[in-house]
């Protein structure tokens, strides 16, 4: 049974694009353990190659509320699914959309059989988005994204308050937190404060050693995992 989640956002970092996306996904797969679902969140163009290389559940980074037809340039939910996506995120702080867009996109993703994680920049926004009953909501203060101070350290109250706020609207939505997460202490604190997992990007993707970074973060889930054996 999955009890917690490590979402890893590949963004458009060079260290996580193309062949390097596949390499990073293989590292994540190596550290995958019972009880902790590791979910790579990859660019749409890398979905097919990543999903054929590892057996992790993979998410896309965005989907548009369109159906088959004349929608040049759009990210079609069915295309994500057939490229191997298990789900997608929507409304990341770097790709924000209005609620009306999100409501339609959640519906289209559901039609296509995709899980959805909505990102929210504040507790107020998280409450608004919870009305759409997504599978996950990730609350990430934008000012801490990509920085060295984690949300667990800088705004611990935001984590516990967001869990309460989201569950006051929809108890089934799984709450994730992110921004600046770098070590096992950050993960442990986020879990202690009531979330089911973390959303990490630079702490893994930009790390000097991606393997060491994943190993360190996994310790926060109480799943120590020596590097021995990884090539
Ligand atoms: O999507 C997760 C992301 O926004 C957090 O980024 O670099 O602060 O881990 P980072």
Taking the C-alpha atoms of residue 51 and residue 30, their distance in angstroms, rounded to an integer, is: 15
From 181, 204, 210, give the residue whose CB has the most ligand 1 atoms within 8 Å, as the site to mutate.
Answer: 181
Q: What pLDDT was estimated at residue 223?
A: 46
pLDDT band, very low/low/confident/very high, at 222 (cuts 50, 70, 90): confident
Catalytic residue among 37, 121, 140, 216: 140
- Asked if residue 200 has its Cβ within 6 Å of ligand 1, the reply is yes
pLDDT band, very low/low/confident/very high, at 69 (cuts 50, 70, 90): very high
Q: Quick one: which of 200, 193, 194 has its CA closest to 214?
A: 200
The separation between CA 31 and the C-alpha centre of its own chain, rounded to angstroms, equals 16
pTM: 0.94
88 token code pair: 């997608």
């Amino acid at each position: 049974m999955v009890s917690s989640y490590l979402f890893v956002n590949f963004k458009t970092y060079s260290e996580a694009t193309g062949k390097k996306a596949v390499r990073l996904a293989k590292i994540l797969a190596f550290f995958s353990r019972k009880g902790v679902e590791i979910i790579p969140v990859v660019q749409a163009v890398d979905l097919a190659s990543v999903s054929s290389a590892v057996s992790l559940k993979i998410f896309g980074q965005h989907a548009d509320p369109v159906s088959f037809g004349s929608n040049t340039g759009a990210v079609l939910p069915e295309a994500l699914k057939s490229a191997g996506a298990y789900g997608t995120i929507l409304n990341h702080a770097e790709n924000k959309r209005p609620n009306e867009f999100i409501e339609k996109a959640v519906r289209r993703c559901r039609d296509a059989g995709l899980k959805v994680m909505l990102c929210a920049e504040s507790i107020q926004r998280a409450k608004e988005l919870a009305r759409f009953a997504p599978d996950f909501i990730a609350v990430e203060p934008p000012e801490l994204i990509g920085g060295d101070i984690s949300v667990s350290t800088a705004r611990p109250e935001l984590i516990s308050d967001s869990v309460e706020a989201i569950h006051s609207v929809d108890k089934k939505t799984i709450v994730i937190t992110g921004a600046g997460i770098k070590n096992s202490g950050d993960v442990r604190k986020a879990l202690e404060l009531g979330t089911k997992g973390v959303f990490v990007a630079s702490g893994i993707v930009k790390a000097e050693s991606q393997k060491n970074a994943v190993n360190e973060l996994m310790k926060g889930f109480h799943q120590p995992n020596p590097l021995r054996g990884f090539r």
